[in-house]
Amino acid sequence: MSTAMVEARGVRKSFGSTEILKGIDLRVERGSVTCLIGPSGSGKTTFLRCINHLEKVDAGRLYVDENLVGYTERNGRLYEMQERQTARSRLNAGMVFQRFNLFPHMTVLENIVEAPIHVLGRPRNEITAEAQVLLDRVGLGDRGDAYPRELSGGQQQRIAIARALAMKPKLMLFDEPTSALDPELVGEVLDVMKSLAEAGMTMVVVTHELAFAKQVADQVIFMDQGVVVESGPPADVLGNPQHERTKAFLSKVL
């Protein structure tokens, strides 16, 4: 079995006449944490959405758990999957967005059990017990009966993480999960993410939290204008960058 959970080979993506991703090549090893950093508009979020096939790749190959994302390949040609197949493959990757996207009319517990029951067809009593374990894991074991409006932003984001974990994904994708939070609430979300990393969850994180990347990441990838400029261990990319563009970016954010 390949050691890569995610592998991108020459991935390109355009919106209209604007090319956002210009041939991305990278690997994310199983059980590792990869942080994508870079200025706004560099293609980080677009690439993350391509991993989950929320955006379709225009060229290149993108694999998750050795399976081609969004397409099947026959005789060297790509054929787009039907939506049902794509939805099934998407279950391999849980995604946490900048905004929490919780259902406001459902309690915390109902938000977590909704997809496993209706998408996976799992028994309610079984998934409810698992959901309580997840709530305990994110430090909100006593808030199952609360509604999202009764929670802080940090608490809502931790619920969003628990909801993604309830689908038992092989991979977790985080799109700037702390950017919508007040500064004093950032730490509680990052602590949950650190615990996931320690438990061996494969994670790809788009983030501006460079201290988190330095502490938790196995690999940091600096992107700019749709390309990977520099990649490597955080001590190298953040502590001793080689590319002038990386140096210029870090000089403004560190």
pLDDT digits over 35-78, tens only? 999 999 999 999 999 999 899 999 999 999 998 888 888 887 87
Mean pLDDT of 219-231: 98
Q: Is the pTM of this model over 0.85?
A: yes
Average pLDDT value for residue range 11-29:
97
Per-residue HEC secondary structure of 154-222 comes to: HHHHHHHHHHHHCCCCCEEEEECCCCCCCHHHHHHHHHHHHHHHHCCCEEEEECCCHHHHHHHCCEEEE
Placement of tokens 């609430």 in the chain: 185
List, for residues 171-182, the tens digit of each pLDDT value.
999 999 999 899
pLDDT attached to residue 1: 60
Q: DSSP 3-state assignment of 50?
A: helix
Q: Give Dmax over CA atoms of the chain in angstroms.
A: 56
Asked if pLDDT for residue 2 goes beyond 80, the answer is no
pLDDT digits (tens, 9 = 90+) for 129-156: 999 999 999 999 999 999 999 999 999 9
Tally of CB atoms within 10 A around 157: 29
The reported pLDDT for the residue numbered 87 is 75
The terminus-to-terminus CA distance of the chain in angstroms comes to 39
In angstroms, the CA 131 to CA 109 distance is 7
pLDDT cut 90: percent of the chain above it: 84
Strands (E), the chain: 4-15, 18-29, 33-37, 59-64, 67-68, 71-74, 77-80, 93-96, 171-175, 202-206, 219-224, 227-232
Spatial CB neighbours of 11, under 8 Å, sequence gap ≥ 6: 21, 23, 24, 25, 47, 50, 57, 59, 60, 61, 62
